[in-house]
Amino acid sequence: MPENDLLTIARDVAIAAGDLARRRREEGVEVAASKSSPVDIVTHADREAEALIRGLLSDARPDDGFFGEESGAEKGTSGLTWVVDPIDGTVNFLYGIPHWAISIAVVEGEPDPLTWRALAGCVVNPVTGEMFTAAAGEGAFLGSAPLRVADAVELPHALVATGFSYSSDRRARQGALIAELLPQVRDIRRMGTASLDLCFVAAGRLNAYFERGLSPWDHAAGALVAAEAGAAVRGWDGAAASKEFILAAEPTLADRLQDLVMKTGV
Ligand code: IPD
Ligand code: CA
């Protein structure tokens, strides 16, 4: 199936899940359980949205695999897998901060970001209505407007976003890195939704984004949007982006930031 047809499916399913999650948010949201740490939470809406997405995708593409944050992985027979975060930015969702997203990507190969090839991806913020999309080789879009990363800037002029792990040990190290970085860049943003951070790099609203410990469903769609908008999207020390590390920026800035982060360590 051509990438653009896969993208149409991703887009339709993301809109349906976004409508559901937005309704649940309006009704009021409570924590259903905590996961890897007391601050890593899931709401009933995360689970309900993932069940809806899983069902719609399996109706549309019964032979494809599925890999979602809340309900785990299931292998398919087609060689394609849908990688889904039903609500990225769950803490924003819980607090009513209107900056969270549905992230849906379809990848070819094993569902491992070190080796997969992303074919299409869609990130929707159901509160603002912004929809970011990309298909491999076809460019990235916000609605129907093509996206392009911001022009090259030196580090002191770079607005850099990052995110923090749910593990407090790792947070302590991430805080130390930010203390090093903050005096050397324009400013730091921690907005709480990695998929949107990546799309904001694509849209030139941020110069760069990096994070350590990010799960595959958080970046599968957004990384394709950023790459298709001209960003370099990289992992640690030349590897592909993965849970180990992800950095997305205009390519010359990506080199400078990567040197700095690797020198300082995370
Ligand atoms: C989180 C967000 C956050 C990032 C975390 C992710 P979730 O995803 O994307 O911005 O810093 O690493 O886990 O838990 O809200 O789906
Ligand atoms: Ca999530």
Query: Ligand 1: does its nearest atom lie under 6 Å from the Cβ of 228?
Result: no
* pLDDT at residue 240 is higher than 80: yes
Query: Ligand 1: does its nearest atom lie under 6 Å from the Cβ of 92?
Result: no
Ligand 1 pocket test, pick from 85, 214, 219, 245 with the greatest ligand atom count within 8 Å of Cβ, gives: 214
CATH of 155-264 among 3.30.565.10, 3.40.50.10890, 3.40.190.80, 3.50.50.60: 3.40.190.80
Q: Sorting pLDDT into bands at 50, 70 and 90, what band is 18?
A: very high
Three-state DSSP class for 201?
helix
- pLDDT tens figures, 141-166: 999 999 999 999 999 999 999 999 98
Polymer length of the chain? 266
Q: Where in the chain are the domains?
A: 3-146, 155-264
Q: Which ligand is nearest to the CA of 49?
A: 2
Query: Ligand 1: does its nearest atom lie under 6 Å from the Cβ of 192?
Result: yes
Number of helices (H), then strands (E), in the chain: 7, 15
* pLDDT for position 33: 81
Measured distance CA(250)–CA(103) in Å, rounded: 22
* pLDDT at residue 34 is higher than 90: no
CA of 175 to the centre of ligand 2 (A): 22
Q: At 103, phi and psi to the nearest 5?
A: -125, 120
CA of 65 to the centre of ligand 1 (A): 23
Query: Ligand 1: does its nearest atom lie under 6 Å from the Cβ of 68?
Result: no
Burial class (CB in 10 A: 0-12, 13-18, 19+), 87: buried
What is the separation of C-alpha 8 from the centre of its chain, rounded to a whole number of angstroms? Answer: 19
Three-state DSSP class for 129?
coil
* pLDDT for position 38: 81
Poorest-pLDDT segment among 101-105, 173-177, 187-191, 226-230 = 173-177
* pLDDT at residue 191 is higher than 70: yes
CATH class of 3-146: alpha beta
Three-state DSSP class for 41?
strand
Q: Which ligand is nearest to the CA of 97?
A: 1
- pLDDT tens figures, 43-97: 888 899 999 999 999 999 999 999 999 888 899 999 999 999 999 999 999 999 9
Of the chain, the percentage scoring pLDDT greater than 70 comes to 99
Among 237, 139, 125, residue whose Cα is nearest residue 191: 125
Element (H, E) at 105: strand 101-108
